[in-house]
């Protein structure tokens, strides 16, 4: 441990709230309470999000007293990188340890159009989709906004070494973002703010398994961010088998809430549709799906199922995937097939899991 880190450890109590949870206004209020000038907030945000320092000590244009006060009140190191792996295709997977010892995963995907980070919003998940690894151990706890923001900062710090940038964010890691709605929204505001990470709304996507009341609430926020729904089935029967949440939030009601969102925001919706061999991947399913969503302003993203050892789903053969996509196209539905990335490091959709502290070295 170098001297600087030692010093920081002495002054920064680990149970302090994450400084990354604070909106600009909240930071300003805190400064005024301490008798500081409000303009300091800009300096602090620059240190956090532009220069991305790892210690309050490094905020050298602030007085020593203010730096100490910050260190006494907040934490700058809520995430510790336990594992960082890079796949053959450049995809990176990070295992981060939280202050209470739980671990979460974050993925960085490299595309032609830029680098996209997939962030986690909960330790585990309680939605119970029958094909997904993230839900196997249930939900442990929600992440705080700052713990979600810190994932982006940490990954950006790793990319700083090669002069690359995180250019887009997908909220598609572990957890159901709409089950942690308030913190997710704070996270969105911080990364979107021009003094925060300044990531444009159109470069951010949130995906939900279909928590209907939150879809209405989200529509009313009128944010310009991209919205995706994990549909995975053309009818109630199949959806309930794949996703138990469909019993509480029924498909016809889900479709109504999505139409409300589209009317309210004028934006289109992306439907994620995982192809599970023999379950939902036949031509008749594609035809039924086209009937269900054909009249809606949308786009379908087909995801070939990713292998999860605890689950029994089999992959749909490539030809069948193309036939499924073509059937949708013929009915006038926009469709793409998701490019697969990060397979060799278990970083693909549905393979992320919150590990218990003791199996971190697995």
Q: Is 207 within any annotated ligand binding site?
A: yes
Using CB under 6 A, pick the residue from 272, 279, 345, 355 that binds ligand SAH.
272
208 touching ligand SAH, by CB under 6 A: yes
Dist CA 194 CA 189 (whole Å): 10
Please give the C-alpha separations between residue 61 and each of 28, 40, 56, in angstroms, as whole numbers: 17, 9, 11
230 touching ligand SAH, by CB under 6 A: yes
Per CB under 6 A, which of residues 118..147 are in contact with ligand SAH?
129, 131-132
Cα 249-254-259 angle, rounded to 5 deg? 160
- Residue 93 belongs to what H/E stretch? strand 92-97
Residue 46 region by backbone torsions, left for phi larger than 0, else alpha for psi between -120 and 50, else beta: alpha
Q: Is 176 within any annotated ligand binding site?
A: yes
| DSSP secondary structure letters along 30-78 | HHHHTT--TTHHHHHHIIIIIS--SSGGG-TTS-HHHHHHHHHH-BS--
Dist CA 29 CA 6 (whole Å): 30
Per CB under 6 A, which of residues 82..121 are in contact with ligand SAH?
none
349 touching ligand SAH, by CB under 6 A: yes
Using CB under 6 A, pick the residue from 306, 316, 327, 341 that binds ligand SAH.
306
280 touching ligand SAH, by CB under 6 A: no
261 touching ligand SAH, by CB under 6 A: no
The number of CA neighbours under 13 Å toward the Cβ of 90 is 11
Is 298 tagged catalytic?
no
Phi, psi (deg, nearest 5) at residue 245? -60, -20
Q: Is 230 within any annotated ligand binding site?
A: yes
By CB under 6 A, the count of residues binding ligand SAH is 17
Q: How far is the CB of 121 from ligand SAH (least distance, A)?
A: 8
Using CB under 6 A, pick the residue from 97, 147, 176, 281 that binds ligand SAH.
176
- For ligand SAH, give the closer residue by CB, 226 or 230: 230
Going by C-beta distance under 8 Å and a sequence separation of 6 or more, which residues neighbour residue 243?
A: 127, 128, 129, 130, 209, 210, 230, 232, 233
Strands 103-111 and 92-97: antiparallel
Which candidate in 12, 36, 105, 183 is catalytic?
Answer: 105
Please give the annotated binding residues, written as ranges.
125, 129, 132, 175-176, 207, 230-232, 306
- Positions in the binding site for ligand SAH (CB under 6 A): 129, 131-132, 172, 176, 207-209, 230, 272, 274, 303, 305-306, 308, 349-350
Give binding residues for S-adenosyl-L-methionine as ranges: 175-176, 207, 230-232, 306
State the catalytic residues: 105, 349
């Amino acid at each position: 441990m170098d001297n600087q880190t030692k010093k920081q450890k002495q002054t920064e109590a680990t149970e302090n709230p994450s400084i990354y949870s604070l909106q600009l206004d909240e930071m300003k209020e805190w400064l005024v309470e301490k008798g500081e000038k409000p303009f300091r907030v800009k300096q602090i945000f620059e240190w956090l999000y532009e220069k991305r320092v790892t210690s309050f000590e490094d905020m050298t244009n602030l007085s020593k007293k203010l730096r100490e006060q910050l260190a006494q009140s907040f934490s700058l190191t809520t995430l510790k990188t336990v594992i960082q792996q890079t796949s053959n295709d450049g995809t990176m997977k990070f295992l981060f340890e939280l202050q209470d010892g739980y671990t979460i995963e974050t993925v960085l995907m490299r595309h032609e159009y830029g680098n996209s980070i997939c962030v986690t919003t909960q330790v585990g998940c309680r939605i119970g989709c029958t094909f997904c690894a993230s839900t196997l151990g249930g939900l442990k706890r929600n992440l705080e906004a700052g713990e979600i923001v810190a994932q982006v900062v940490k990954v950006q710090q790793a990319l700083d070494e090669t002069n690359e940038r995180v250019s887009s964010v997908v909220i598609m890691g572990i957890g159901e973002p709409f089950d942690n709605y308030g913190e997710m929204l704070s996270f969105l505001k911080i990364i979107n703010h021009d003094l925060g990470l300044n990531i444009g709304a159109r470069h951010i996507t949130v995906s939900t398994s279909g928590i209907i009341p939150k879809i209405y609430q989200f529509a009313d926020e009128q944010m310009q961010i991209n919205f995706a729904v994990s549909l995975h089935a053309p009818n109630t029967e199949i959806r309930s088998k794949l996703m138990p949440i469909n019993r509480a939030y029924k498909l016809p009601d889900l479709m109504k809430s999505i139409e409300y969102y589209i009317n309210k925001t004028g934006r289109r919706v992306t439907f994620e549709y995982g192809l599970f061999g023999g379950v939902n991947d036949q031509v008749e399913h594609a035809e039924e799906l086209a009937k269900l969503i054909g009249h809606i302003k949308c786009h379908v993203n087909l995801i070939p199922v990713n292998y999860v050892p605890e689950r029994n789903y089999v992959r749909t053969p490539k030809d069948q995937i193309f036939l499924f996509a073509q059937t949708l196209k013929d009915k006038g539905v926009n469709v793409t097939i998701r490019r697969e990335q990060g397979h060799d490091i278990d970083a693909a959709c549905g393979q992320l899991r919150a590990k218990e502290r003791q199996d971190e070295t697995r």
